[in-house]
């Protein structure tokens, strides 16, 4: 079990090892385009499988929606 | 601050407008009206009749390039605004160069992949540059859904939820609200000091 901040909310995640990809799957985020930051650092799509989220991390996942 | 003082301050600044559709055309017009000195506007597209439900163009401009039509519309509103118009598609490669001299950049794309592209490019290559985005503006009604999220130098205006589709089209009122929220955020950034 680990606890992170996800979009400014405390979130308990049932995992000992968590990548960005795991988080997106666990939270069932379905939009195709995101901006992901861990502790303020930008994580690009190519890094989703490798980027590890640790206990206590501040994670932001922003959906990009079409329209303008 | 009086309007004269606001204009005098804003005159010194340059704002980038990435896309001249619903968000970009309305945001650029608002920034010109309040006295922003220079706008660097970029768009590759041509005006279609379907754009006129929300974009700052006129019926007799259908078929013209958006970036040049917008330049001529702004010149009629406030000839003091200096405008650099780029008829091109923005990419990871040209964003840093085109917007290098801008104090703030406004994301005003339609497509979600383009919104992601500019956000990542700015965060990666020019992290000190404030980027004001518009996300979530489809449909009508629900005025209370709008707000701004700040994440470092990223400011995200909109409802953050709705995505345009055939049944949830982008329309003048909500697109106008978000584009003017973007302009309002730009003013706040510029006038409160960078």
Q: How many CB atoms lie within 10 A of CB B169?
A: 16
CATH number of the domain bearing residue B178: 3.40.50.720
Mutate to test the interface with B, among A51, A59, A61, A68 (most CBs of B within 10 A): A68
Look at B135 and A32 and tell me if their CB atoms are within 8 Å: no
Chain A residue at shortest CA distance from B119:
A35
The domain total for chain B is: 1
Tell me the two tokens of residue B88: 């091109």
What domain range is B30 assigned to?
A: 14-191
Chain A residue at shortest CA distance from B55:
A68
Q: What is the set of domains in chain A, with CATH numbers?
A: 2-63 (3.10.20.30)
H-helix or E-strand spanning residue B187: helix B172-191
Q: What is the Cα–Cα distance from B18 to B15, expressed in whole angstroms?
A: 10
Q: Beta A34-38 vs A41-43: how paired, if at all?
A: antiparallel
Q: How far is B145 from chain A (nearest CA, A)?
A: 15
Q: How far is A64 from chain B (nearest CA, A)?
A: 5
Asked whether B39 and B15 are in contact (CB, 8 A), the reply is yes
Look at B110 and A60 and tell me if their CB atoms are within 8 Å: no
* pLDDT over threshold 90, residue B193: no
Instruction: Dump pLDDT digits (tens) for B23-52.
Output: 999 999 999 999 999 999 999 999 999 999
Asked whether B158 and B132 are in contact (CB, 8 A), the reply is no
Instruction: Dump pLDDT digits (tens) for B61-116.
Output: 999 999 999 999 999 999 999 999 999 999 999 999 999 999 999 999 999 999 99
Asked whether B123 and A44 are in contact (CB, 8 A), the reply is no
Whether residue B4 lies inside any domain: the answer is no
* pLDDT the model gives residue A42: 93
Look at A35 and B119 and tell me if their CB atoms are within 8 Å: yes
**Residue appearing with tokens 């303008």:** A68
DSSP string, B42-75: E---B--GGGGGTSS--GGGTTSBHHHHHHHHHH
Instruction: Dump pLDDT digits (tens) for A5-44.
Output: 999 999 999 999 999 999 999 999 888 899 999 999 999 9
Whether residue B3 lies inside any domain: the answer is no
- By Cβ distance, the residue of B113, B134, B154 closest to A68 is B134
Q: Tell me the count of A-B CB pairs closer than 8 A.
A: 74
Chain A residue at shortest CA distance from B179:
A68
Whether residue B66 lies inside any domain: the answer is yes
* pTM beyond 0.90: yes
């Amino acid at each position: 079990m680990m606890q992170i901040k996800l979009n400014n909310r405390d979130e308990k995640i049932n995992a000992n090892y968590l990548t960005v990809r795991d988080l997106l799957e666990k939270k069932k985020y379905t939009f195709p385009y995101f901006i992901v930051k861990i502790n303020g650092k930008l994580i690009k799509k190519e890094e989703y499988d490798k980027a590890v989220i640790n206990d206590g991390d501040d994670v932001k996942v922003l959906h990009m929606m079409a329209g303008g | 601050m009086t309007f004269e003082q606001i204009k005098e301050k804003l005159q010194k600044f340059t704002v980038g407008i990435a896309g001249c559709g619903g968000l970009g055309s309305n945001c650029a017009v608002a920034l010109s009206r309040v006295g922003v000195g220079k706008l660097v506007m970029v768009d590759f597209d041509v005006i279609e009749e379907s754009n006129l439900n929300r974009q700052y163009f006129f019926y007799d401009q259908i078929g013209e390039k958006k970036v040049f039509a917008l330049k001529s519309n702004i010149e009629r509103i406030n000839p003091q605004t200096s405008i650099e118009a780029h008829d091109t598609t923005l990419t990871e490669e040209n964003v840093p160069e085109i917007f290098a001299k801008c104090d703030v950049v406004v994301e005003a794309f339609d497509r979600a992949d383009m919104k992601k592209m500019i956000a990542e490019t700015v965060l990666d290559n020019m992290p000190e540059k404030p980027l004001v985005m518009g996300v979530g503006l489809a449909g009508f009604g629900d005025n209370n859904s709008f707000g701004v999220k700040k994440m470092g130098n990223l400011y995200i205006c909109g409802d953050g939820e709705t995505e345009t589709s055939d049944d949830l089209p982008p329309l003048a009122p909500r697109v106008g609200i978000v584009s003017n929220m973007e302009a309002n955020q730009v003013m706040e950034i510029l006038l409160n000091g960078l």
